[in-house]
Amino acid sequence: MAAQHVPGRQVHEFALLTKDGGRVLVRTQSAGVPGADGKPAGVYCAFSEVHAQIDLERSIALSEALMDDASWGVVLVDVDLRPAVVNAQAATAFGSGRTVLLGRPLGELLAEGVEELEGALQHVLAEGAPPGPVELWVSVRTAAGVRRRCWRSGFLRLASPLAEEPVPLGVGWLFQDITEARQAELDTAQLRFRSQQLHRSGRAAGECEDPAEAASVRLDYALAGFAEHALIDVLAADGVRLVRSAVSPSGTVPAPGTIPVRYEPGHPAFQALDRLGSVRTSAPRGAAAQGWARARQWPEGAAHVLCTVMRCRGRSVGILTFLRGPSRPPFDRADAAYAEEVASRVAADLPFPE
């Protein structure tokens, strides 16, 4: 009753005993109601069980924490698969401001991986959340360029609690960047596999009586998971021209012969000879890529090439060339190191030039 005589609302909590012997903690908000003459006419009292209000406050606090302070990226996605709310961590992952991301199609934000992400969101809207986290590789468009990232993602279907029937509001998408850890695992697995291939190729080549056959066996093992084609060009007797000695897989390019390969001056194979190392190159984009491989005496469709010199006993004996198609990534430094190791072993298999 004291609320009639003080301004504002008064908040109190009462522990009540129910008829069945249970205890309930009730929170009340009381405010005085004045009459027409301005004098107190009564009290307006609103109350609820404290636990129900605490649950609501916890939900609100959780939402605010996720949107502000979470170490995970959080994106609330509308039913049309466009970001509706983005927290600071997610904005940093996308390399953009929070408001810039809102309402934009995911295809404008991601260069690669958008199909997988939209498929996951549509599945959640239709079937519900997946049983566990999902790892997605995406390429993010940023002002500094395209970045390849791996995001461990979790999804929640959001529905309105106020509708009579469940009405989908969208999807809650939580993700964490695990690119460095995942890339380290991939690099370790790749190194282990390549070491095993070198070991297996050495044992298989040791069973070959013909040196050319031994070199071809090594190429077959080296190609697994590395490239689509491999070529061996050995130096002719003049020490200048290159002659095709072996190809792998066989039949994909003209068979080896005794006629020097018609490489133009400045060809990557000659560059590798001059550098005594490796040369990496890729086809240009667009229409300029047509005929690029053919003009360099490589198999049609080659888009990424790695040429490395073969040396044995302090002398260059030829060039080993690996080729990848356009669906594969360009060769990197780790690929060049592996190719150089293969080249040194192939060079030891070949007949030593007099």
Average pLDDT value over all residues in the chain: 89
Q: Distance (Å, rounded) from C-alpha 198 to C-alpha 192?
A: 10
pLDDT average, residue stretch 59-71: 84
Specify the pLDDT at position 323. Answer: 96
The segment with the largest mean pLDDT, out of 5-9, 101-105, 350-354, is: 101-105
The 10s digit of each residue's pLDDT in 7-32 is 888 888 888 898 998 888 898 889 98
The 10s digit of each residue's pLDDT in 238-268 is 888 999 888 888 765 655 667 889 999 999 9
Specify the pLDDT at position 199. Answer: 94
pLDDT average, residue stretch 283-303: 86
Specify the residue for token string 């070959």: 208
Q: What are phi and psi of 323, to 5 degrees?
A: -135, 140
Lowest mean pLDDT among 57-61, 131-135, 191-195: 57-61
The 10s digit of each residue's pLDDT in 89-98 is 999 999 888 8
Q: Check whether 338 has a pLDDT greater than 90.
A: yes
The band of 210, judged by pLDDT with boundaries at 50, 70 and 90, is: confident
pLDDT average, residue stretch 310-335: 93
The band of 302, judged by pLDDT with boundaries at 50, 70 and 90, is: very high
Specify the pLDDT at position 352. Answer: 58
Residue 22 CA neighbour count, 13 Å, CB half: 4
Handedness of CA 250, 254, 256, 260 (dihedral sign): negative
The 10s digit of each residue's pLDDT in 31-42 is 988 888 888 889
Q: With pLDDT > 90 as the criterion, what percentage of the chain qualifies?
A: 57
Q: Give how far the C-alpha of residue 94 lies from the chain's centroid of Cα atoms, to the nearest Å.
A: 13
Q: Check whether 346 has a pLDDT greater than 70.
A: yes
| CB neighbour burial string for 93-126, b if at least 16 within 10 angstroms, e if fewer | bbebebeebeeeebeebbbebbeebbebbebbbe
Q: Distance (Å, rounded) from C-alpha 347 to C-alpha 311?
A: 6
pTM recorded for the entire structure: 0.67
pLDDT average, residue stretch 169-195: 94
End-to-end CA, the chain: 114
The 10s digit of each residue's pLDDT in 105-114 is 999 999 999 9
Specify the pLDDT at position 107. Answer: 92
Specify the pLDDT at position 203. Answer: 93
Specify the pLDDT at position 255. Answer: 58
- Residue 175: closest CA among 157, 152, 156, 155: 152
Q: Check whether 192 has a pLDDT greater than 80.
A: yes
Specify the pLDDT at position 226. Answer: 96
Specify the pLDDT at position 54. Answer: 80
pLDDT average, residue stretch 309-324: 94
Q: Which residue has the higher pLDDT, 60 or 287?
A: 60
Q: Which residue has the higher pLDDT, 168 or 201?
A: 201
Specify the pLDDT at position 254. Answer: 58
Specify the pLDDT at position 56. Answer: 79
Cis bond upstream, residue 284 (ω within 30): no
Q: Check whether 230 has a pLDDT greater than 70.
A: yes
